[in-house]
A and B are shown apart, each in its own frame.
Chain A
Amino acid sequence: MARPATVVRPARRFRPGAEIPLALATLIVFLPVALIIVLSVQPLVNIISPGWNFGLTTQNYAAVFAPDQPYLTQLGNSTVIVVGTVALCLTAGSLAGYSLSRLGWSPRTTVIVLVAAGIITLIPPMALVPGLYVTLNAIGLLGSLLGLVLLNTVFNLPFASVLMKVYFDRVPAEIRESALVDGASEFRTFLQVMLPLAAPGAAAVAIFVAIMSWNEFLFGLTMTTGGRTSPITVGIAALVQPYQITFGEMAALGTAVAMPIIVLAVVANRWIVAAVTRGAVKG
């Protein structure tokens, strides 16, 4: 009786051959991240002088978030972009995913829509930047936060739609039918019956899109004029100058931008894994 239990779960055994390389790999990932956090609280003199002196200071954070610096505004811009992109991707993505999953489109139509959406994720965004630049200019949204929200939405919506379709596919068809038989409209059936059942998908979409749009750099760089109009990623990039010694500020700002994501990675680990594995492989 004991034998099946040990064979079915081989991972329970302690294997130095797996643990030691894994410890090494975890350290290789962890140490660079730890470095930026440690440097963010070091006085500049400790960073630039030879040898290893460690102190504790908040002066780097104070310098970065001083009122005359653009970084607080940029953090606000990034937050607006994240909220707007997540809202748009959740709305348009769950509608499209539901329509393709449950509303009887022919397999051919479904494939055409999914392929058209999928192509967007294959093209390097930089290759579309010239075209997008002209498009945003034409509709008067060049350099605006709304313009960045729309561009972030375009490149995340295919993923959001596919992931929502995958989750709607799992809801039994009978539930939708009985709601309709009871007299609910198609829209009410979607909003009040089906959408709550696909809530895990919506959570995965929200977390994934939030991370992607918070981290986005290319459109922020090319579609804004910098300074207080850009997202925080552009602000960090501007701090990295070869001949300036802004190591402390760089580390402080980098830590401030990375921390929410690392906390999210720890707290919402299973949703992130679900989103990446399902969405990435499907889309």
Chain B
Amino acid sequence: MNLPTNSPGSRVKPASAADVTVTTPRRRTPAPPRRSLRSFRVVALLPLAVFILVFAAYPTIQLVRMSLSDVGIVGGEFVWTPTGLSNYAQFPDDDIARYSFLITIVFIAVTVPATVMLGTLLAILVHRSSVLAGLARNVLLWPALIAPVVVSVIWWLILSPNFGTLNKVLESLGLPPQGWLGHSSGAVFSIIVVDIWHWTPLVFILIYAAIQGIEPDLVEAAEVDGATQAQVYRHIVIPLLLPAIAAATLIRLTMGAKAFDEMYVLTKGGPGTATTLASLYIRNVFFDRLDLGYGAAISVLVIAAITVVMILVAIGRALRPGRELFNG
């Protein structure tokens, strides 16, 4: 599959500001088009701006306000009582909350490197393959495209202790069945395996597109100079893929922090609280315990943690101006 419109190598885009300066002298009647341009460009941007303000800025303000209040529901109406920082004061003493942040970090620390490495490997394999490339390019996308809850159902059918396919396979091999999701380490291991199966395909597409953008001349020159295949990948292909790998890592990092659907269906955060990632704990506090203020406070802490990571990434980018993280 050749994507003619998608070659990261050719990045020649005219700056939009420059276009306008070029067009100005050619206008016959400068005044009227200018006014219609001004109004249309504002009108065209308005829907996006309204969506950002109403469904991102306003809810965020409400979230912060809620985290500083005690919010009760009386007769279907919210009743807000300002309480200062008392919601945040609960956090340090809340063992489950601290565990949920810790297990989220562990989850990210394992699944992000694993999916990025496996996805890159798959991209290289597909690039080097001739027979299976077409089929693999298609099938390998499936997990990333089907609904996360369906992914959970698939793995529930495999891992379920009672009639799961994996235990059936073990039994027919004469091995004892396992309660994969029944104990803490097995459940954590399971959600990590499921996440790697689920999201390696996304990394694969991103890196595969970048590989296709590499100039064949570069590889050819190295081969003419007598480089082995291993050397070509080690010294030419992988370094050229680094920006795409960095972008994929960043995307996977934010996805790790968002993870919810798979665990909610597969383990419900259990057994006990073993797989209660931060997102699951927020839902639990907010909707099961109906402790709206505290749920909002944990949400604010999650957003703060992500903001810190993103600022660190931005600083890292600024210190290395040669590396363009977001290239298209």
Chain A residues in the interface with B (C-beta under 8 A): 4, 7-15, 17-19, 21-23, 25-26, 28-30, 32-33, 35-36, 39, 47-48, 50-52, 91-93, 95-96, 98-107, 110, 113, 116-117, 119-135, 137, 150-151, 153-154, 157, 161, 166, 169-170, 173, 177, 180-181, 185-187, 190, 200, 211, 214-215, 217-218, 221-222, 233, 236-237, 239-240, 245, 247, 250-251, 253-254, 257-258, 261-262, 264-266, 269-270, 272-274, 276-278, 280-282
Contact = CB atoms under 8 A, between A and B. Distances in A.
A20 B129 CA distance: 9
A186 B223 CA distance: 53
B315 interface: no
B238 interface: no
A24 to B, nearest CB: 10
A99 B44 contact: yes
Contacts of A21: 125
Given A132-B59, A261-B146, A187 B41 contact: no
A222 B172 contact: no
Interface string B28-65: 10000100110011111101110110111011111100
Contact of B168 (A50, A130, A273): A50
A229 to B, nearest CB: 16
B136 A104 contact: no
Interface in B268-287: 278-279, 282-283, 286-287
A29 B52 contact: no
B114 interface: no
B132 A23 contact: yes
Interface residues of B, number: 122
Interface of B: 1, 3, 5-6, 13-17, 19-20, 22-23, 26-28, 33, 36-37, 40-45, 47-49, 51-52, 54-56, 58-63, 66, 78, 122, 125-133, 135-150, 152-158, 160, 162-163, 165, 168, 171-172, 197, 201-202, 205-206, 208-209, 216, 219-220, 223-224, 244, 247, 251, 254, 257-258, 260-261, 264-266, 278-279, 282-283, 286-287, 292, 295-296, 299-300, 302-303, 306, 310, 326-328
A8 B306 contact: no
Given A126-B283, A131-B296, A266 B138 contact: yes
A162 B228 CA distance: 40
Contact of B154 (A13, A36, A215): A36
22 contacts: A7-B219, A14-B131, A15-B128, A35-B158, A95-B47, A98-B44, A103-B41, A103-B44, A119-B56, A122-B254, A124-B279, A130-B296, A131-B299, A154-B55, A173-B14, A181-B28, A217-B149, A222-B283, A236-B147, A236-B149, A262-B142, A281-B251
B205 A273 contact: yes
Interface centre among A19, A48, A181, by most chain B C-beta atoms within 10 angstroms, is: A19
A97 to B, nearest CB: 9
Given A11-B133, A92-B48, A187-B40, A102 B16 contact: yes
A42 B152 CA distance: 19
A92 B1 CA distance: 31
Contact of B147 (A28, A200, A233): A233
Contacts of B302: 124, 126-127
Interface centre among B139, B140, B306, by most chain A C-beta atoms within 10 angstroms, is: B139
Contacts of B51: 92, 150, 153-154, 157
B60 A128 contact: yes
The main secondary structure of chain B at its interface with chain A is helix
B45 A99 contact: yes
Contacts of A247: 157, 160, 163
Interface centre among B5, B22, B220, by most chain A C-beta atoms within 10 angstroms, is: B5
A107 B15 CA distance: 9
A112 to B, nearest CB: 11
Contact of B131 (A19, A102, A280): A19
A282 B141 CA distance: 20
B317 to A, nearest CB: 13
B56 A254 contact: no
A260 to B, nearest CB: 10
